[in-house]
Amino acid sequence: MVARKVFAIVLAGGEGKRLMPLTEDRAKPAVPFGGQYRLIDFALSNLLNSGLRQIVVLTQYKSHSLDRHVSQTWRLSGLLNSYVASVPAQQRLGKRWFSGSADAILQSLNLIHDERPDLIVVVGADHVYRMDFAQMVDAHVESGAAATVAAIRQPISLADQFGVIEVDADQPDRISRFLEKPTHPVGLPDAPGSVLASMGNYVFDADALIDAVKRDGDRADSGHDMGGDIIPAFVEEGRAGVYDLQRNDVPGATDRDRYYWRDVGTIDSYFEAHQDLISVLPVFNLYNREWPIFSQQLNSPPAKFTRDARGALGTVIDSIVSLGSVISGAHLERSVIGPWAMVGSGAHVADSILFDRARIEGGATVRRAILDKEVVVEEGAQVGIDRQQDLARGFIVTESGITVVGKGSRIRARA
């Protein structure tokens, strides 16, 4: 990394309405993922692995579990001024909450003034990916841009799902236009069938970011959003560059997961991202020891797989099972099981995600479902089998047929 002081800001105030009911009692970055992780762990792991040691997490919406996770999990020694600090909305500019991601930074400028960095890395807290930000920082400095946007190549047919970056053929590292979910996008000069989609990660010259959020704060017509307002302003001034993720070389990456990035903003994308974890050659590899994903290490016993009381064997196929869980004479397939979950005799769980302390009792069936923490599926009950029954129980069922059961629910067998 270049010899400049770099400060990192993680934007973690998101409400995550499209992930309801998983976000009913927690902020989106605090939603569990992959069994033992929280979504924010991916952003923080990337920053820490990149050598960044001064990191603040800006929180707002139902932040208790997120603040607790950061304080319990991400404790640095404090030596050499190293820290990961959770900073809630402080109403420093009046009796109001953050009105957008840019306003969150505006209301937190005291954090920047305290550290006086040369460069600021700003990242979202709810994407699943690996990235070496040190390489992006170096590219930013070399480019001479005031702001640099990280981007990933996506098929042009998916352009209407992203903020899309257009570049000129003679200046492929400079942004010519920044379009929000365009319906008629222009393909890349070197790949007409692809577009560059913003990853929601940025590097700024510190003075330029401070000036930009102050000017934005004075605009009554602004949405005060980093992607919707701040970056377009830099583009209009000709001071915005792009960093293609294909330039990023993360140690230990495989050809299969090298450029993986998922925005898990909907139930369907959240479910699909879990399916990416469990194949023999996973699309996203949690087992990369050279670039680990850190999280809270629970004081828990190993997962246990047993016969049931009658001696019947169970089976576990293509699944992740977290610490403290017990699978007893049950069938488990293509599923992710959180800490201290229990699946009992004769139960059948397939294509599902169980959060911590979920309990599936004997003979129950769970299929294409997401069960929040402490959900109990009673003996012989079914989830994800009968769509109309699940809707009648008050559960959310997506168009693709994924049933989502809220925290602490108890599901009884049909009478």
Check whether 163 is labelled as a binding-site residue.
yes
Q: What is the pLDDT of residue 47?
A: 97
pLDDT for residue 43 is more than 90? yes
DSSP string, 300-350: -PPPEEE--TT----EEES-EE-TT-EEES-EEES-EE-TT-EE-TT-EEE
Range ranked top by mean pLDDT from 81-85, 236-240, 340-344: 340-344
The arithmetic mean of pLDDT across residues 88-105, rounded, is: 76
pLDDT at residue 92, as a whole number: 66
Q: Any binding-site annotation on 304?
A: no
- Measured CA to CA in angstroms, residue 282 lies from 60, 257, 287 at distances of 34, 8, 10
Mean pLDDT of 385-405: 95
Per-residue model confidence (pLDDT) at position 98: 76
Please give the Cα distance from 232 to 216 (Å, whole number).
Answer: 11
Q: Which of 22-36, 94-108, 265-279, 322-336 has the lowest mean pLDDT?
A: 94-108
Q: Domain extents for the chain?
A: 6-275, 304-411
pLDDT band for position 231 (cuts 50, 70, 90):
very high
101, 102, 108, 112 alpha-carbon torsion, rounded to 10°: 120
Mean pLDDT of the chain: 90
What pLDDT is stored for residue 224 in this prediction? 86
**pLDDT (0 to 100) of residue 270:** 96
Instruction: Give me the residues paired with residue 175 across strands.
Output: 167
Which pLDDT score is estimated for 1?
44
Under CATH, which architecture does the 304-411 domain have? Answer: 3 Solenoid (2.160)
Task: Tell whether the model's pLDDT for residue 199 goes beyond 60.
Answer: yes
Structure tokens at 406: 């809220």
pLDDT at position 79 is 66
Bridge partner list, 9: 56, 122
What does the chain come to in residues?
A: 415
For the ranges 56-65, 109-118, 341-350, the lowest mean pLDDT is seen at: 56-65
Is 181 annotated among the ligand-binding residues? Answer: yes
- What would the pLDDT profile of 353-364 be if each residue is shown by its tens digit? 999 999 999 999
Annotated ligand binding at 374? The verdict is no
User: Superfamily assignment of 6-275 in CATH?
Assistant: Spore Coat Polysaccharide Biosynthesis Protein SpsA; Chain A (3.90.550.10)
